[in-house]
Amino acid sequence: MAAFTLSKSNKTDIAQYLADFKFYEKQDLFSDDAKLSTQIEFIRLDGREYPQYINEYWTSKQRQADPLHEITYRACFKPQLPRFFIELLTKKDDIVYDPFSGRGTTVIEAALLGRNIIANDVNPLSKILAYPRFFVPTARELEGRLSRISMNKKAKADMDLSMFYHPQTEAEIVSLKNYLQERKDSGKEDNLDAWIRMIATNRLTGHSVGFFSVYTLPPNQAVKPESQVKINQKRNQKPEYRNTKEIILRKFNTLTQFVSEELRARLKVIGEKARFFSQDARSVPQIPSRSVHLTVTSPPFLDVVQYADDNWLRCWFNGIDAKEIENKITTSKTIGEWSGVMGGVLKELYRITKSGGSVAFEVGEVRNGRLKLDEYIVSLGTAAGFKCQGIIINRQEFTKTSNIWGIKNNESGTNTNRIVLLKKA
């Protein structure tokens, strides 16, 4: 098996650590051809020079991510990204925050590392997908709860979903939806219900028998019904029955396969102290000033991803108004609009960050690399009061999902992580 390690740099000197970083992929850790050295370039912005550190600082091969992360969500980064900064810039019990939490990658990884967390996302689906994983039940408890949910074989959705589901599968999905809504409305929804809701939401559509639907697009987005009709015609397919309870249990076992009793207890302690918000990231007044040690986040990139369109079926299942979300989520069409929003976010991050605390602001690479959002974040971050310690550019290969879309490395799409590292004096 290939060996991986980090150089033994002094992590208190961030610039030196990034410059000296070595990533080893071979058994011979001392071989010159086994290491990738950092490339350092400088850019000039607003009359000042800032370093860009270019290397493979993390990779999915370096340390396998915990399966607890495997809840799909469009445009989410790998867990190795927040882990790099959490290990580098915080210690146990520090507070880690993500104002654009998405599926909860940053806060779940922070909890796995023993940090306290705060999560925010204007999309209420974010909490549905993240919160339950702090309160992990046993398989026996979940199976017992599922067995007590009655399935109405005649239940039908209030819209035509026949292009996605077998009639019996649709009846089970609607029965689950109605059960969860009744539990919520009566104030009885508990952690077991939250896990059922999270996994069912995650299994609504996908491209394997591990999902409720017939073959469709990758599970991080749902196509419109008319598009699914065309997919079915092209593939000469029709929905087959899927046992929803069995699928939920299988996914639960996959997610929790490495959750020990010690980890279950630790996640519960962190979860009980955690705070989840669903507000505009420019103003979350419930977070005390100077309380956060580290923020690791990735905001919406202009209008590259349409979150509400991707999640219309998830919203339906959870009784959420997708149009209302669409009006709240930042999908700026111009760099001016986007910069205005991000400037407000960075001012709020400056307020809540402790003296000596940091922000790792990931902005990927959009429009084939022609638009460098990281350079805008440098200017906005320094205007908010932060000191920019540099831009970290992580080399990476495309994911399986990207290849499904026909995206190849160095051709189109996002082929690097670009992270602006900011520090509050």
Full pLDDT tens readout for the chain, 425 residues: 233 334 434 456 899 899 988 755 444 444 444 456 889 999 999 999 999 999 988 875 555 689 999 998 876 788 999 999 999 999 999 999 999 999 999 999 999 999 999 999 999 999 999 999 999 999 999 999 999 999 999 999 999 999 999 999 999 999 999 999 999 999 999 999 999 999 999 999 999 999 999 999 876 678 999 999 999 999 999 999 999 999 999 999 999 999 999 999 999 999 999 999 999 999 999 999 999 999 999 998 876 566 667 889 999 999 998 888 777 776 678 899 999 999 999 999 999 999 999 999 999 776 666 788 999 999 999 999 999 999 999 976 544 444 433 334 444 444 578 999 999 99
Chain-centroid distance, C-alpha 260? 23
Predicted local distance difference test score (pLDDT) of residue 26: 44
Task: State pTM to two decimals.
Answer: 0.90
Q: At what angle do helices 139-147 and 244-255 cross, to 10 degrees?
A: 170
Tokens of 76: 């989410």
**Residues 115, 86 contacting (CB under 8 angstroms):** yes
Predicted local distance difference test score (pLDDT) of residue 414: 42
**Residues 54, 19 contacting (CB under 8 angstroms):** no
Q: Which of 206, 164, 200 is closest to 404 using CA atoms?
A: 206
**Residues 156, 233 contacting (CB under 8 angstroms):** no
Percent helix, strand and coil across the chain, each to the nearest 5:
40, 15, 45
Query: How far apart are alpha carbons 221 and 224 in whole angstroms?
Result: 10
* Cα 238-71-94 angle, rounded to 5 deg: 170
Query: How far apart are alpha carbons 72 and 77 in whole angstroms?
Result: 11
> What are the pLDDT digits (tens) for 117-155?
999 999 999 999 999 999 999 999 999 999 999 999 999
Return the percentage of the chain with pLDDT > 70, whole number: 84
In the chain, domain spans: 38-123+276-305+333-423, 137-255
What is the C-alpha end-to-end distance of the chain, expressed in Å?
43
The amino acid at 270: I
**Residues 96, 119 contacting (CB under 8 angstroms):** no
Query: How far apart are alpha carbons 103 and 70 in whole angstroms?
Result: 9
> What are the pLDDT digits (tens) for 48-86?
999 999 998 887 555 568 999 999 887 678 899 999 999
The amino acid at 156: K
User: Under CATH, domain 38-123+276-305+333-423 is a member of which superfamily?
Assistant: Vaccinia Virus protein VP39 (3.40.50.150)
Task: Detail the DSSP E strand segments found in 15-172.
Answer: 23-24, 35-36, 39-45, 48-55, 95-98, 116-120
Stated as kind and residue range, the H or E segment containing 419 is strand 416-423
Looking up tokens 């239940």 gives 155
